[in-house]
Structures are given as structure tokens and as C-alpha cells.
Structure 1
């Protein structure tokens, strides 16, 4: 595990389009079917990273708190499943069911989507506004697996609240930190 920060894609960047396998339903899901007309949170996550395991509970809470407000949540794993079989589609479905993910968990087998988003780590978070322009990229909150800081999701909650109020999240935004994406 190499501790890696987000690349911090420029704010205002349009969301790169994708069509990926939803490991939960077994269906191919295009971004157009998953996005929201209010806010869309795209999360690059995986099954084995200790940073993702640390925040899984808060990801479920966030989705449960904000989906009813019209926010879409999308989880994507882009790790090389040949080298990291625990991050393959069958294991992703099992993990999503175990965690109770209330959002699709998509498999980016070619890693093209992670490259298009310039994703660098797991977890890596991108919030797009109603026009699918990047409004926030960065950390969930200040909690880390080895810290005593409580897990609150405050940075993402704040960004979502600001967007839902029709405003733009403030800058600067702190990068997320986690395991590097396992590239092929």
C-alpha cells in the first residue's frame, strides 16, 4: 500500500462519460442513467484498501442521508483484478451486499474511467453539480485509519449541502488520501 493523494482534477471539468458493469445488478449502467439533476457523487473505491474499509460505514450513511435529497451515488472499482482478485466483480458484489451499499458498485475493468477522471487513490471522491461539472474533489473528512479523528464525512456533507442550496463549494479543497489505484 502506497499512501497516495488525489490528483485534484480542475474544478468545472465535465464528468467523463462511461458505461460500466454494475456488479450488484449484473447490468451495464451508463452514467446518463445514474446521474442526478441535483448532484452526483462518484467514488473510486475498492474492497481491500484499509482507507476504504475505514470509511465504508460513512459512505453508506452518506448515501442514505442524501439520496432522498436527490443526490446520486456511484461507486467504481478500477483496480487490476488479475493481480488483486479480491477486487474482481464477484467479490465486489459480495462486499457491496455485506456493507449494504445503497448505490451501484461499478467495475472499471479497462481502467479507462479511472484514467479519464485522473483518479489516483481509493477512496477518491468527485462531486458533480446539476450540469455534471466538477464542483468538489477531495477528502471525505480528516479521519484516517490510524488517527483518532472521528469519521463524520464533514467535507463531503458540506459540499453536498452547499450544492443543494444552489451555491458553489468553497476552495481550497483538501485531497483525499488512500491506497494507490492498482494499475495494470
Structure 2
């Protein structure tokens, strides 16, 4: 495991479009189908990363809390499944069911979507406004495996609350930290 921070791309960046397989129902979904009325949360996660396992419970709670306010949610796994078979789509579907993910879990087989978003780690979070302009990128909160801090989703919740209340993006946006995305070798 290589501890990797997220890339802090420029706020205002347009969300790159995509159409990926939702492992929960074997249907393809596009960004326009996921987009929420007030904004869209795109999370790059995977099955095997201890940082993702640590936040899974809060991801479910957070998405359930904010879906009803008009936000769209999606999780994307872009890892190389040849070298990391635990992240295979079949296993993704099992995790989505076991964790009761209230959002689609998409498989980025070509890794083109992760590259388009400049995703670097799992978990990696992006919040886009109603026009799909980047409003927030960074961490869920300060909790990490074994650091003793409670999972609250504070940073992501503050970003969505600001968006809902027509406030500016949070001034302090800390990078997420986690396992590096497992890129395919050429």
C-alpha cells in the first residue's frame, strides 16, 4: 500500500463525461443520468483499500443524508483487476450489496475516467455544482485508519451544505489520503 494524496485540481473544472458499467445491475450509466439537481458527488473507491474500508459506513450514511436534498452520488473503481482481483466487478457487486451502497458503483475498466478526473487515490472525492463545475475536491474528514478520530464526513458535509445554501466553496480543502489507484502496466 502506498499512501497517496489526491490531486487538488482547479475549482471550476468541468466534470468529464463518462458512461460506465454499474456492477449493481449490469447497466451502463452516464454522468447525465447520475447528475443531481443541486450537485453531484463522484467518489473514486475500491474494495481492497483499508482507507476505503475505514470510510464505507460514513459513505453510506452521508449519501443517504444528502440524496434526499437533491444530490447525485456515484462511486467508481478504476483499479487494475488483473493484479488486484479483489477489485473485480463481481467482487464490487458483492461489496455494494454487503455495504448497502445507496449509489451506483461503476467499473472504469480502461481507467480513462480516473485519468480524466486526475484521480490519484482511494478514496478520492469530487463535488460538482448543478452546472457540473468543480466546487470541492479532497477529503471526507480527518479520520484515517488507526488515528482514533471519529468518522463524521465533516469536510464533505460542509461542502454540500455550502452548495445547498448558495455559499462559496470551503476555503480550506485538504487532499484526501489513501491507497494509490492501481494503474495497469502498458
Q: TM-score when scaled to structure 1?
A: 0.99
Aligned match of 2:63: 63
Q: Name the counterpart of 1:114.
A: 114
Q: For 1:132 and 1:54, locate their aligned partners in 2 and report how far apart those are by CA, in whole Å.
A: 28
Contact conserved, 1:37 with 1:131, CA < 8 A, in 2?
Answer: no
Partner of 2:174: 174
Structure 1 position 14, deviation (Å): 0.2
CA distance in 2, matches of 1:118, 1:133: 15
Distance 2:163 2:66 in 1: 12
The runs of at least 4 aligned residues of structure 1 exceeding 2 Å deviation read none
Once residues 46 and 35 of structure 1 are traced to their aligned partners in structure 2, the CA distance between those partners, rounded to angstroms, is: 21
Q: Which residue number corresponds to residue 39 of structure 1?
A: 39
Q: Distance in 2 between matches of 1:15 and 1:171?
A: 20
Give the C-alpha shift of residue 37 in structure 1. Answer: 2.2
Deviates more, 1:170-179 or 1:44-53: 170-179
Report the equivalent of 2:52: 52
Question: Unaligned 5+ residue runs, structure 1?
Answer: none
Mapped to 2, the partners of 1:23 and 1:39 lie a distance apart of 23
Task: Return 5+ residue gaps in structure 2 as ranges.
Answer: none
TM-score normalised per structure 2: 0.98
Deviations 1:26-54 (A, max 9, x none): 00101111111211000000000000000
Report the Cα offset of residue 9 of structure 1: 1.1
Shift of 1:168: 2.1
The residue matched to 2:42 in structure 1 has which SS? strand
How far does the alpha carbon of each residue in 1:46-65 deviate from its partner, in whole angstroms, 9 at most, with x for none?
00000000000000000110
Indicate conservation of the 8 Å contact 2:158/2:170, yes or no.
no
